[in-house]
Amino acid sequence: MNRPVTIVLVLIQAGRRRLERLVTRITEGRSGAVLPCGRVSLSLSHRPQPPGASNMTREQYLAGVAAAQVGIARLSATCEMPLSAASSAGATSSDGPTGFDAQASE
């Protein structure tokens, strides 16, 4: 094997180990539904059904989003490599921590 390929394989293995440690930290000590890994069955051959009635108000939804953002920020702060999906996706300072502008979805 040539050197560049070996380096890439070593980096991939290191990344997998870091991901495994992160998954362990996130899931350790938690109980509840176990969601299987794998593929999601998704058909793009027809339009989806329109959403049904919500079980929460807009204010409850926005409060839930804010709480999730706080949780993600806390998790990101404790990770060896901070989660930066929002910044790498081109989020601006007017966007929330996730890069999602709630006003745009109204």
**Which amino acid makes up residue 25?**
R
96 in Cβ contact with 69 (< 8 Å): yes
pTM as predicted: 0.33
% pLDDT > 90, the chain:
23
97 in Cβ contact with 89 (< 8 Å): no
The pLDDT value recorded for residue 1 is 63
What the block records as the tokens of 85 is 């999906």
Closest CA to 57 of 48, 65, 49, 69: 65
More confident residue, 29 or 56: 56
Name every residue whose Cβ is closer than 8 Å to that of residue 78 and which is 6 or more positions away in sequence. Answer: 25
